[in-house]
Amino acid sequence: MSIDWIELIIVVVKALIVAFGLLIGFAYLTWFERRLVGRFQMRIGPNRVGPAGLLQPVADALKMFFKEDFVPGQADKPLFIMAPGIAMSAVLISFAVVPVGPSIRLFGREITLYLADVNVGMLVVIAVLSLGVYGIILGGWASNNKYSLLGGLRGAAQVISYELPYGLSLVGVFMLAGSLSLKDIVEAQARVPFIVLQPLAAIVFFFAAVAEANRSPFDLVEAENELVAGYHTEYSSIKFALYFMAEYISMIVASALMVTLFLGGWQGPFLPGIVWFFIKLVFMLFVFVWIRATWPRIRYDRLMAWSWKLLVPLSVANILVTAGALVLRDMGVF
Amino acid sequence: MVPADFLPILVLIIVAVGMSAIAIALSALLGPHKSTPTKLMPYESGMVPVGDARLRFSIRFFVVAILFILFDVEAIFFYPWAVYFRRLGLFALIQIVVFVGILFVGYFYAWRKGALEWE
């Protein structure tokens, strides 16, 4: 079997664009969030470094690199160093199957605006995203700090509570699209975005995605008024930054999934697909920040109860109702 | 051998892991290294730490973890069913009602037994 070298180079370039794009996305998401939260709290937010504070992320990144990077004395050294890398890699990889737009022609070649289109696309995303919690658990355990350990344990309990509604809420979408591939799901929404047909699934998925990204109001793993900084209490320098990046990039991934699965992905009138994708993405990110700025943190046992006793039955009911409606429709009742 | 569809994912795995490794290595090279015994102590709000952090933790976590494994394995059965649902029609609907029925017998049993209470 011969290798198509040009194809391989295209794939490598696309992988680098995805990875660095997400990094830049992360940097400007912190700026976006700080400015917005500033406005929500009647402040201005960072506006000193560069015009409108636009160079603030660059300054932060430089500062992070030159901070002292130390491993606490009693920590488990290899795990302590690896853990932030695991958290970061997992969220970066999960973006591989998200389609940003339809294919474009460049230099006479058909270039698809997604890295991979596999027939089990969404399963890959769920599998890889849930690996990210290993970063939190291992980091919390390796630090040998009580706050970190509690944060890590909470991370574990939270992920196992939220994975279920996260996975179950999507079954309705898969039934409508008849596929797990994200590209097929977007194409199935050519007429109606799935948020219209699956509003309950969209709501359940969004809450589960917020919890998956460990964002406020479900940011119990780092609840600063109980656990100092939770699982990353002992982390400094770029290792701390990697955890921070993992959290923000998983917010971007969650928004991209919302857009792809429920808001019709790149589809929209007049503008090119990729522009629509980014408009919807920024809107979802705004919703994330909005929730953070307005909702108080939910109590720990409430979160578990809410997930197990409300979201799981709701999403199963949604599956049954969708199935019933589809059967009636295919039999020609309506 | 990686199937061709999955090759780009493998490339992204290499890029992502490489990037994290380079970032960690860079900060170890660039930052200052002045460690003192107090700096290396676990942070406990400024107090001298009491005992070790390798504590035993609540059995509750274990119960929830077992429940999660049970339900997640069952949730994964929904996926192939959902993809082929339109082709199977009414038969698939009856199947899933029976399946969910059995699933929820276990679910309500766990609920009544208090496995979902966090206290």
Q: Is the ipTM of this complex over 0.95?
A: no
DSSP category for residue A307: I
Q: What is the DSSP letter of A115?
A: S
Report which secondary-structure segment, H or E, holds A288. Answer: helix A273-294
- Interface probe for B, chosen from A134, A238, A239 (most Cβ of B below 10 Å), is A238
Ordered DSSP codes for B82-94 = HHHHHHHTHHHHH
Does some domain include residue A173?
yes
Overall average pLDDT of the A55-69 stretch: 82
Q: Do A144 and B23 touch (CB under 8 A)?
A: no
Q: For residue A46, give every residue at least 6 positions away whose Cβ sits within 8 Å of its Cβ, in sequence order, or none.
A: A31, A34, A35, A38, A53, A56
Count of other CB atoms within 10 angstroms of residue B116 = 19
Q: Do B9 and A304 make contact, defined as CB atoms within 8 angstroms? A: no
- The answer to whether the Cβ–Cβ distance between A69 and B78 falls below 8 Å is no
End-to-end CA distance of chain B: 49
Question: Are B96 and A320 in contact, with CB atoms under 8 Å apart?
Answer: yes
Q: Are A205 and B112 in contact (CB under 8 A)?
A: no
Sort out which chain A residues have CB atoms less than 8 A from B104's CB and list them. Answer: 313, 316
Report residue A270's pLDDT band, with 50, 70 and 90 as the boundaries: confident
Please list every residue in chain A whose beta carbon sits closer than 8 Å to the beta carbon of residue B11: 11-12, 15, 115
Q: Report the C-alpha gap between A214 and A207 in whole angstroms.
A: 11
Q: Binning pLDDT at 50, 70 and 90, where does residue A102 land?
A: confident
Q: In B, which residues are within 8 Å of A130 by CB distance?
A: none
Q: Which of B14, B42, B93 sits opposite A144 (nearest CB)?
A: B42
C-alpha span between A304 and A158 (Å, rounded):
7
Supply B110's token pair: 């766990």
Contacts A118 to B, Cβ<8 Å = 5-6, 9
Q: Which residues of B touch A84 (CB under 8 A)?
A: 20, 24
State the DSSP string of B3-67. -GGGHHHHHHHHHHHHHHHHHHHHHHHHS-----TTTTSPPSTTSPPPS-S-----THHHHHHHH
pLDDT tens figures, B13-35: 888 888 888 888 887 788 777 77
**Which residue in A171, A173, A299, A314 has the most chain B C-beta atoms within 10 A of its own C-beta, making it the best mutation to test that interface?**
A171
Q: Please give the Cα distance from B70 to B64 (Å, whole number).
A: 10
B83–A contact, CB cutoff 8 A? yes
What one-letter code names the amino acid at A173? Answer: V
Domain for residue A43, yes or no? no
CB atoms < 10 A from the CB of A160, how many? 23
Of A228, A227, A212, whose CA–CA distance to A288 is shortest?
A212
Q: Do B61 and A156 touch (CB under 8 A)?
A: yes
Does the pLDDT of residue B1 top 60, yes or no?
no
Q: Is A131 on the interface with B (CB under 8 A)?
A: no
Q: How far is CA A306 from the centre of its chain?
A: 21
Listed in sequence order, the residues at least 6 apart from B31 whose beta carbon sits closer than 8 Å to its beta carbon are: A65, A66, A67, A68, A69, A237
Q: A92: which 2 tokens?
A: 């970066």
Q: Which of A171, A305, A330 sits opposite B78 (nearest CB)?
A: A171
Model pLDDT for residues B55-67, shown as the tens digit of each residue: 777 777 788 788 8
Number of neighbouring beta carbons within 10 Å of residue B58: 11
Integer angstrom CA distances of residue A88 from A242, A275, B54: 6, 27, 25
Residue contact A167–B43, C-beta within 8 A: no
Of A164, A174, A320, the CB nearest to B79: A174
Mean pLDDT for the stretch of residues A120-127: 84
The mean of the pLDDT values for chain A is 82
3-class DSSP assignment, residue B119: coil
> What is residue A3's predicted lDDT score, i.e. its pLDDT?
65
Q: Please state whether the predicted TM-score (pTM) of the whole model is above 0.95.
A: no
Mean predicted confidence (pLDDT) in B70-93:
83
B65 vs A: CB within 8 A: yes
Residue A215, SS3 per DSSP = coil
Are the beta carbons of A241 and B23 separated by less than 8 Å? yes
Query: How much is the pLDDT for A25?
Result: 87
Is A242 in CB contact (< 8 Å) with chain B?
A: yes
Average confidence (pLDDT) over B96-102? 88
Q: Burial, A318: exposed, middle or buried (Cβ in 10 Å; 0-12, 13-18, 19+)?
A: buried
Is A111 a member of any domain? yes
| pLDDT category of residue B2 using cuts at 50, 70 and 90 | low
What does the block give as tokens for B53?
A: 């952090």
Q: How many domains does chain A have?
A: 1
Determine the pLDDT at residue A223. 66
Residue A74 per-residue DSSP state: T
Using the predicted structure, report yes or no on whether residue A224 has a pLDDT greater than 70: no
- Assess contact for B43 and A236: CB atoms under 8 A: no
Is A18 domain-assigned? Answer: no
Q: Which range is least confidently modeled, A33-37, A103-107, A280-284, B108-112? A: A103-107
Residue-wise pLDDT for A199-213, tens only, equals: 888 888 988 888 887
CB-nearest to B89 from A144, A312, A327 is A327
Instruction: Print the domain residue range for A86.
Output: 74-330
Residue A67 pLDDT more than 70? Answer: yes
Residue A84 has pLDDT above 80, yes or no: yes
A&B contacts, CB < 8 Å: 217
